[in-house]
Amino acid sequence: MDPASTLMPAARTDELVVEELPDETLVYDLKRHKAHCLNRTSSLVWQHCDGQTTTAQMAEMLEEKLGLPRDEQIVGLALDRLRRAKLLADGTYAPGDEMSYSRRELVRKLAVVGGLTMLLPVITSLRSPLAAQTGSSVTDAQCKQCIGVGLPCSDRPGKSCIQHPQSGNCRCG
């Protein structure tokens, strides 16, 4: 049996705020102050990261629930993305455990099966859309709302909008 099939990764649960929507899962990492959006495939894999479900079983689950081909490479792609987003518990899925996969090969495979590329596991980083519309600097008022963290403060030359590492509050400093 492929060793990868016996992997039983576990999801991280500490300091996370999770909101389930019908087709995606939103996660806010309180430790790193980062927000993520998991599409349905990534959500399902993450939900089954309970330390007891093997990757082979996850592949079977994706086939049942989403009609995806039973392919552990899809699970591997999801796990790799979860690991990069720091959403897996430490020690349960290390870089050396990665199942080999080629994203390009997966896309080709899923396209052939009938346009299932949209079901490829995706994890998107979320940023406040107000922040995305900010230009090259922010005012005090914007910084206070954590809009434009890292950008120079137009009201205070020489200072930048910084986020307090513990409270998450923002100020020009």
Partner 1 sequence: MRAAARGKGVEDDGRLVAAALAGAWRSPPMPLALSPTDIASITPLLLRAGSGALAWWRIRHSDLKDAAGARPLRDTYRYDTLQAGIHERHITQAVDALRSFGVDPLLLKGWAAARLYPERGLRPYGDIDLCVRPEQYEAAVAALAGRAAETGVVDLHEGLPDLYRPSLDEVYDRSWLCPLLGVGVRTLGFEDHLRYMCLHLLRHGAYRAIWLCDIAVALESAPRDFDWEYLLRGEQRQSGWIICALVLAHDLLGARLDGTAAAESAKSLPRWLVPAVVKQWGAREHYMASSTMAASLRSPRSILKALRLRWPNPVQATVGVGGRFSEFPRFPFQLGECLLRTAHFVTQAPRLIRQQSVGPVGRGAHAPVTARGHVDSGDATGTRRHPSSPPR
Nearer to partner 1, 76 or 121 (CB): 121
Q: Are 9 and 79 in contact (CB under 8 A)?
A: yes
Q: How far apart are CA 111 and CA 104, in angstroms?
A: 11
Residue 15 interacts with partner 1 (CB under 8 A): yes or no: no
Task: Residue count of the chain, please give it.
Answer: 173
State the Cα torsion 12-17-19-24 to the nearest 10°.
-50
DSSP state of 30: T
Among 91, 95, 114, 129, binds partner 1 (CB under 8 A): 129
Residue of 28, 60, 113, 149 interacting with partner 1 (CB under 8 A): 28
Torsion sign across C-alpha atoms 25, 98, 9, 84: negative
Query: Which positions from 72 to 111 touch partner 1 by CB under 8 A, shown as an x/- string?
Result: ----------------------------------------
CB of 71 to partner 1, least distance (A): 28
List beta partners, residue 19. Answer: 26
Interface with partner 1 includes 52 (CB under 8 A)?
no
| Residues binding partner 1 (CB under 8 A) | 17-19, 21, 24, 26-28, 30, 35, 37, 126-130, 132-133, 139-142, 144-145, 154-156, 164, 166-169, 171-173
